[in-house]
Chain A
């Protein structure tokens, strides 16, 4: 009953000074909007990375050649070969597919255009393991590999590099250092992962790349697909054991190759995104506290300005509790109104950003509830002192305040 009256009185005094109240609320509005947007952005970024991880399909280990040293001088020769890939496929039970890769960067001529791109020699199963769907044409066959056929499958980004329509490229030929290759297939674009954009690769049979382009039987890396339900650590140990055996590395000696989980990079990225979003939310939270200080400041001004009103109310029978409640409700109303506007604003901002970034930035119910109660809490916390100051005023002095 009396509480309802207090709300009415608070509403009256906010309306009486509407512009000032709005300016005061602005701090809370911006703070809450920032918190909501930042939390949504952070979870959107994490969601985007999660999607990327999921799109990688099963877990894939990547074996890369390490530096080989002969007499303290780094050798340019790669340490891993096709026989390593065969050994892994043959001897590691936790592996479902092995994809050797040989990558060389060359000048490529297509029509009159000339570009420097990576040519990757690999086995026909690469598209399946890395989950690259075909857009046009076909993949090369094991027979074409064995026959070192000059055929090429273009990554999804390559037609754009040459400014060509992908559909028109099938059956055309491209020129790699004087050798012409027939374009037999084009992959779908997948977007870049980590530092390398695999959409811009040109894929050829491994044997073709080894003998016609690189002139070496060494390879750069082996992608190893791990069987479902096998922990990645187990598979890593198996792969490492077989490779050490193949390379005849003594116990205690260092590996001449490196093993990495392709998801590892993304996991690191995800951690970074998480930390970043905490950081942003933290900064936004600070702006909310600054907004709260603004509320306290204006409430102190209000109490001073309305000293006489407080005196009148006390003379007419308002208790300390009445006065305290009145000013506390006023501060909290400002904060909650600001918080509500901030939630609407923050929600719209995250929806807009979601559109721009192509992310899903879900505004969670938790974030809204938290922002709401946090702003009410800010009102309570920063409203108490001015309200106490008002409640403790001496009615005689307050009545004679000019």
Chain B
């Protein structure tokens, strides 16, 4: 396939000072993720998967190396530019949902569009449409505190999708849910993937990762294993 990947990461390094020591969270990661991939990033805690997810989600910047998102270099961008990229390109789904508790489901879903500068009317329509699609059409006026965990995560997914992002980035999306609800949520991800959405799943649970079409295992800041079936064949030989 000659199409440019959505994500192209080259020799990515990220280290933090921690007291007197320096923690090397990422030690030269090379990674490509193409459109409509459904990949799980796995690894034990301390393996660097959270750091990698933060950098992919433009919440953090690498010390060195390059990160191209949709062919645009984002590794050296400033704070406000990163915020705009997060707004336009990334949809986050968190383990703890991270909804604003004081506002309704509808307002939560509208939030990214406020920062995008979309008009009130259009925001309402789009948010309603997406909430309908995740099966919450009847609970739009409810606050997160009046909802079950599964419903909250659906609101979060709706919020992540509303800007039609290039990547849906899910960090342990079923971690706070019982297994039945977890399966429901994973069903939504599967459906989104079959509709063409690129999904990156960060998890340490094998049965969750099994929903993805491939797994990238991290250990000590490096990629230990990449089980994606087609990647080596499809990268054009240079």
Contacts and interface: CB of A to CB of B under 8 A. Distances in A.
Interface in A283-341: 308-309, 311-322
A318 B94 contact: no
B86 interface: yes
A312 B57 CA distance: 13
Interface string B89-110: 0001010001110110000000
A315 B114 contact: no
A308 B57 CA distance: 17
A132 B111 CA distance: 77
B102 A316 contact: no
B116 interface: yes
A396 B102 CA distance: 21
B117 A2 contact: yes
Interface string B108-132: 0001101111010000000000000
A12 interface: yes
A315 B86 contact: yes
B117 A16 contact: no
A395 interface: yes
Interface in B124-149: none
B161 to A, nearest CB: 12
Interface stretch (B3-11, B76-84, B199-207): B76-84
Contacts of A13: 102
A233 interface: no
A309 B86 CA distance: 16
Given A12-B102, A319-B84, A313 B111 contact: yes
A313 to B, nearest CB: 7
B60, B88, B114, B159: most-surrounded residue (chain A CB, <10 A): B114
B102 A395 contact: no
A316, A318, A321: most-surrounded residue (chain B CB, <10 A): A316
A317 to B, nearest CB: 2
Contact of B112 (A308, A317, A320): A317
A340 to B, nearest CB: 25
Interface of A: 1-2, 5, 12-13, 16, 308-309, 311-322, 395-396, 399
A321 B84 CA distance: 12
Given A1-B119, A315-B92, A315-B98, A320 B83 contact: yes
B80 A5 contact: no
Ranked 4 nearest A-B pairs via Cβ:
A317-B87, A317-B115, A319-B83, A319-B80
A316 B115 contact: yes
B114 A314 contact: no
A320 B80 contact: yes
B59 A318 contact: no
Contacts of A308: 98
Given A315-B86, A316-B112, A396-B54, 20 more contacts: A1-B117, A1-B119, A12-B102, A308-B98, A309-B100, A312-B100, A315-B57, A315-B92, A316-B86, A316-B92, A316-B115, A316-B159, A317-B112, A319-B83, A319-B84, A320-B83, A396-B60, A399-B59, A399-B94, A399-B98
18 contacts: A1-B119, A2-B117, A5-B114, A12-B102, A16-B102, A312-B100, A314-B83, A314-B86, A315-B59, A316-B86, A316-B159, A317-B83, A317-B87, A317-B112, A321-B80, A322-B83, A396-B60, A399-B94
A96 to B, nearest CB: 77
B104 to A, nearest CB: 11
Nearest to B163: A317
Nearest to B112: A316
A64 B60 CA distance: 89
A15 to B, nearest CB: 9
Given A13-B102, A395-B59, A318 B115 contact: yes
B42 to A, nearest CB: 20
A314 B115 CA distance: 10
A296 to B, nearest CB: 23
Contacts of B98: 308, 311-312, 315, 399
Contacts of B116: 317
A64 B112 CA distance: 85
B87 A316 contact: yes
A1 B94 CA distance: 29
B111 A316 contact: yes
Contacts of A396: 54, 59-60
A396 to B, nearest CB: 5
A5 B117 CA distance: 10
Contacts of B114: 2, 5
B164 to A, nearest CB: 13
Contacts of B115: 2, 313, 316-319, 322
A13 B102 CA distance: 8
A361 B41 CA distance: 74
Contacts of B92: 315-316
Contacts of A395: 59
A195 B59 CA distance: 77
Interface in B42-86: 54, 57, 59-60, 79-80, 83-84, 86
Contacts of B119: 1
Contacts of A315: 57, 59, 86, 92, 98
Nearest to A400: B96
Nearest to B111: A316
B94 to A, nearest CB: 7
